[in-house]
Amino acid sequence: MPLAVNIMVRIYIDQKPYDVKPGKNLLETCLALGLDLPYFCWHPAMGSVGACRQCAVKLFKDENDKTGRLAMACMEGVRDNMYLSVNDPTARDFRSQNIEWLMSNHPHDCAVCDEGGSCHLQDMTVMTGHAYRRFRYPKRTYQNQYLGPFLHHEMNRCIQCYRCVRFYKDYAGGKDLDVFAAHNHVYFGREKDGILENEFSGNLAEVCPTGVFTDKSLREHYTRKWDMTMAPSICQHCSLGCNIIAGERYGALRQITNRFNGAVNGYFICDRGRYGYEFVNDPERVRQLVVRTENEGPNLFESLKAILGEGRMIGVGSPRASLEANFALRRLVGKEQFYQGIPENEARLLDKVLAIQHSGHVYTPSLKETESADVVLVLGEDPTNSAPRLALALRQAVRTQPLEDTAGSNIPLWHDSAVRELIQDEKGALFMAYPVHTKLDELASGTLHAAPEDIARFGLAIAHYLADNVAGMSKPEGMDTQTLESARRIAELLQKAERPLIVSGTTLLNEDIIQAAYQIGRALEQDEKKAGLFFVLPECNSAGLAMMQAPSLTVAMSAAETGGFATAVILENDLYRRAERSEIDRFLSGFRNIIVLDHLQNDTTRAATVLIPAATFAEGEGTLVNNELRAQRFFQVFMPKNEHIRESWRWLDELRQFQEGSKPDELRELDNLLEELVAAMPQFKGIESAAPPSDFRINGQRIPREPHRFSGRTAILSNVAVSEPKPPEDVDSPLSFTMEGYRGMPPAPLIPFYWSPGWNSGQSVHKYQSETGGSLRGGDPGVRLSGEGLHFENGFQSPAPPAFKRSPNEMTLVPLPHIFGSDELSVRSASVESRAPRPFIALNALDAEQLGAAEGDVLLVQIGGQVYDLTVVRKDELPEGLAGIAYNLPSMSGIAWPAKGVLTKAMV
């Protein structure tokens, strides 16, 4: 941090003095001051390039200069005693003229454009006052391209701001989108039609200031932004907890957009997060309460009551259910009968991660902070597939070191193109260790493709070089000199780094890797350096569930063996994905009653005797704890018309009341539940402040979920009744389901959508930030839990594992997750599913040859008691004897890890 950060400089805008932060450009400064200055090419996360010429202001030499000159605000750094005018007539005329230029070829097709109503070009056009078109010649037209399932292309609308290529190529590392031709023929697209392959392509819909790239999934059930009911939400599809805005109309979820969180996802989310929402609208949703039981009572409630009174219950929690739901289950079945719905090895890993984060020896950075790491070591993770948004952050991290090296050049960091030209291809140190190639390998200064054991050993070797005098950090035996040398080099770099970052996690289900990451952190601590340890976890609430410190599914299975349980209550969890089919069958056969709460039909719901329709994240409220122990609240987007669909926690709480013999009459509020949760589990202290309580009001008003232009509220139900029904009331949050309420700035966790007068598109987010691009006013949402009160039994010391050795006659398997496909819910979106790989087995050349299998051949793979047909994918970087298999694709059932497989060639 430069020392000068607190020293403000004085600038004069239209004769008014302002004290502002130095080091920024004038555009971001003006925006932060609340002045409306139009822009296109500048982007808060991508900086300035000065291409669109929209942000012109008048600059004066000094206070006596009355003439001044036009200058682009985004290209001028603020200087002390700077005089400028935003309102100067020439500057205004120029800005309006610039819009006229941009609009000269624009199709003016707002009425049929998906961007209309949330279009930055519309907003800026109105802002500059341009209204009358003088260009009377034919417009230039283009042909559009097919870009795959995520984005629609409409090039005629393009205003050539270059943001798309700058995001896709420069920021996200995409290769297959670029700008073609020159002068007023420039074209943005692919070389030919085809699927945009970058995992962050969906952001183009938000980065593009007009309707060139629009969300194709929204198009399937199009609704204008102003006609959507929206709520702040959290992405459910990996452990990072990116903040999202979810929008609904007519009972269907229609769109996910990024919700800015300065500490987490910033301006961007991944395509899994953006397009994975359609499971909410799935025709296979569980919609009815179904009781399949012999001793049926006179009505559903009586039957339920009977079941609940039948005997002891076991509760199986879920890492994809909210904390509240897990807690409500625990209360229903009793603390001792509550189990994490994950296998033992995964539970152990998570406990270890928690213990490390809790140890005080390492630092857990936020996702945003990972971007500023100067040396990065990734041990056993493939972020693009296991925590996609992290991959985007690490792409920025490799620029950190070169950017710092430019400090002496006097080129400000916001001057994007100048900085890129200066640093060219230079990259900071990033080391990737994973069994197969990852997408980030292309940025890496070094890679290791090895078995999990050897990745762990490699990590331990690094720890050893960092602190060979620290007890317990001896060099693993039998490593080859080349690997040792690279371990030594990484140790050296980490030692020199100012903000070293180690990324590790649970993906390879290997405890030694996590241990090794920790050892490295410990060793760096000996060096008076707090390393950042960023752990990738399996699911959106894995950390929250783990913090409950309940025993695992495996333990539940043995408990069930001993008998004595009448009923299992399974919360939002398809157990058939967690272990081998036969084991789950055996487990479930031990219960007379199987109560399952879930959103979608799956093998577990099919086994249920009582099936309860659980609200998805869009239909209910709850809290998730992400991988860095940030508790974040997601809010109900809409009240499902089907009243059976309720939050699991509400159902479970009602079941508890049935069980106690009372018929629940009064809805319980989320806040009460949270209070009880903290009382029962003090490790969650602070979680209640993740969002304001339900009785929070501003000027006595709720925060509306609907923009004030929301239309058709009476007409929507006119086929049923012409009088407008009373809107549902939200007892759990301060948000209202209507357009009525407080129109000003809500507290950060409650922002349902971005809007400000004159700023209808998502670009209005800067109005919500304390400084342009900085955190949201009042602090970014979410609370980091300290985890105080957690108890850990496992020690930290464990000897180095032996090196990987191939097993005779079988292949050792490693799970390889895929961004599109491996997540249970997102793959139910047709667009995501279409991008999923076919179930595969990855083999190296030698193993493939021995099996006589070529790329594309199908092998029969016997894993435990199950046989799969898997397509061979050659990955020659895999060590011999190790095969990668597609992890948890929908067509595959659970595998007990660690796993081995017997491979045979399928008969043709």
- Least separation in angstroms between residue 417's CB and ligand FES is 11
Which DSSP letter does residue 379 get?
A: E
* Residue 39 site contact among ligand FES, another protein, none (CB < 5 to 8 Å, cut-off depends on kind): ligand FES
For another protein, the closer of residues 409 and 558 by Cβ is: 409
Reduced to 3 states (helix: H, G, I; strand: E, B; else coil), residue 399 is helix
For ligand FES, the closer of residues 30 and 524 by Cβ is: 30
* Beta-bridge partner residues of 189: 178
* Residue 425 site contact among another protein, ligand FES, none (CB < 5 to 8 Å, cut-off depends on kind): another protein
Residues 777 to 836 in contact with ligand FES, rule: CB under 6 A: none
For another protein, the closer of residues 218 and 419 by Cβ is: 419
* Residue 190 site contact among another protein, ligand FES, none (CB < 5 to 8 Å, cut-off depends on kind): another protein
Taking residue 118's Cβ as centre, other Cβ atoms within 10 Å add up to 26
Give me the DSSP letters along 746-792: PPGGG--S--BTTB-SGGGGGGGBSSTTSPBTT--S-EE---TT---
* Residue 423 site contact among ligand FES, another protein, none (CB < 5 to 8 Å, cut-off depends on kind): another protein
- Least separation in angstroms between residue 40's CB and ligand FES is 5
Residues 201 to 230 in contact with ligand FES, rule: CB under 6 A: none
For another protein, the closer of residues 77 and 707 by Cβ is: 77
* Residue 432 site contact among ligand FES, another protein, none (CB < 5 to 8 Å, cut-off depends on kind): none
Looking only at the bridges linking them, the beta strands covering 882-886 and 811-816 are parallel
Q: Where are the alpha helices (DSSP H) in 223-281?
A: 271-275
Report the C-alpha gap between 37 and 30 in whole angstroms.
7
Taking residue 526's Cβ as centre, other Cβ atoms within 10 Å add up to 13
Report the C-alpha gap between 410 and 406 in whole angstroms.
8
**Any residues with CB less than 8 A from the CB of 399 and at least 6 apart, and which?**
423, 427, 428
- Least separation in angstroms between residue 726's CB and ligand FES is 47
For ligand FES, the closer of residues 72 and 432 by Cβ is: 72
Q: Site for ligand FES (CB under 6 A): how many residues? A: 13
- Least separation in angstroms between residue 103's CB and another protein is 9
- Element housing 187 (H / E): strand 187-189
- Least separation in angstroms between residue 161's CB and another protein is 8
Judge contact between 513 and 379, C-beta under 8 A. Answer: yes
* Residue 293 site contact among another protein, ligand FES, none (CB < 5 to 8 Å, cut-off depends on kind): none
The dihedrals phi and psi of 620, each to the nearest 5 degrees, come to -155, 175
For another protein, the closer of residues 359 and 417 by Cβ is: 417
- Least separation in angstroms between residue 55's CB and ligand FES is 4
Report the C-alpha gap between 403 and 725 in whole angstroms.
58
First and final C-alpha spacing in the chain: 65
* Residue 71 site contact among ligand FES, another protein, none (CB < 5 to 8 Å, cut-off depends on kind): another protein
Where do contacts with another protein occur on this chain (CB under 8 A)? Answer: 49-54, 56, 69-71, 75, 93-94, 97-98, 101-102, 104-105, 134-135, 137, 159-160, 162, 169, 175-186, 190-192, 409-411, 415, 417-418, 421-425
What is the torsion angle, in degrees rounded to the nearest 10, for the CA atoms of residue 155, residue 161, residue 163 and residue 168?
A: 40
* Residue 182 site contact among another protein, ligand FES, none (CB < 5 to 8 Å, cut-off depends on kind): another protein
Reduced to 3 states (helix: H, G, I; strand: E, B; else coil), residue 31 is helix
For ligand FES, the closer of residues 74 and 314 by Cβ is: 74
For ligand FES, the closer of residues 42 and 651 by Cβ is: 42
List of E strands, 614-696: 622-625, 630-634
Report the C-alpha gap between 179 and 165 in whole angstroms.
7
- Least separation in angstroms between residue 79's CB and ligand FES is 17
* Residue 448 site contact among ligand FES, another protein, none (CB < 5 to 8 Å, cut-off depends on kind): none
Q: How far is CA 758 from the centre of its chain?
A: 29
Note every long-range contact of 729-733, with CB atoms under 8 Å and residues 24 or more positions apart, other chains counting. Answer: 730/636, 730/694, 730/702, 731/667, 731/669, 731/694, 732/621, 732/636, 732/669, 732/670, 732/671, 732/694, 733/621, 733/635, 733/636, 733/670, 733/691, 733/694
- Least separation in angstroms between residue 155's CB and another protein is 14
* Residue 877 site contact among another protein, ligand FES, none (CB < 5 to 8 Å, cut-off depends on kind): none
- Least separation in angstroms between residue 322's CB and ligand FES is 41
Please return the burial class of 558, using the count of CB atoms within 10 Å of its CB with bins 0-12, 13-18 and 19+: exposed
- Least separation in angstroms between residue 525's CB and ligand FES is 44
* Listed residue (904, 888, 901) closest to 812, CA to CA: 901
The answer to whether residue 200 forms part of the interface with ligand FES (CB under 6 A) is no
* Listed residue (345, 346, 313) closest to 330, CA to CA: 313
- Least separation in angstroms between residue 162's CB and another protein is 7
- Least separation in angstroms between residue 37's CB and ligand FES is 9
For ligand FES, the closer of residues 171 and 277 by Cβ is: 171
* Residue 101 site contact among another protein, ligand FES, none (CB < 5 to 8 Å, cut-off depends on kind): another protein
The answer to whether residue 128 forms part of the interface with ligand FES (CB under 6 A) is no
Q: Where are the alpha helices (DSSP H) in 467-510?
A: 481-496
Residues 1 to 60 in contact with ligand FES, rule: CB under 6 A: 27, 39-42, 50-55
- Least separation in angstroms between residue 179's CB and another protein is 6
Judge contact between 213 and 148, C-beta under 8 A. Answer: no
**Any residues with CB less than 8 A from the CB of 168 and at least 6 apart, and which?**
174, 177, 196, 198, 200, 201, 204
Residues 66 to 105 in contact with ligand FES, rule: CB under 6 A: 72, 74
The encoded tokens of residue 549 equal: 């410190």
For ligand FES, the closer of residues 176 and 416 by Cβ is: 416
* Beta-bridge partner residues of 903: 861
* Residue 415 site contact among ligand FES, another protein, none (CB < 5 to 8 Å, cut-off depends on kind): another protein
Report the C-alpha gap between 179 and 190 in whole angstroms.
8
For ligand FES, the closer of residues 54 and 337 by Cβ is: 54
Residues forming the site for ligand FES (CB under 6 A): 27, 39-42, 50-55, 72, 74
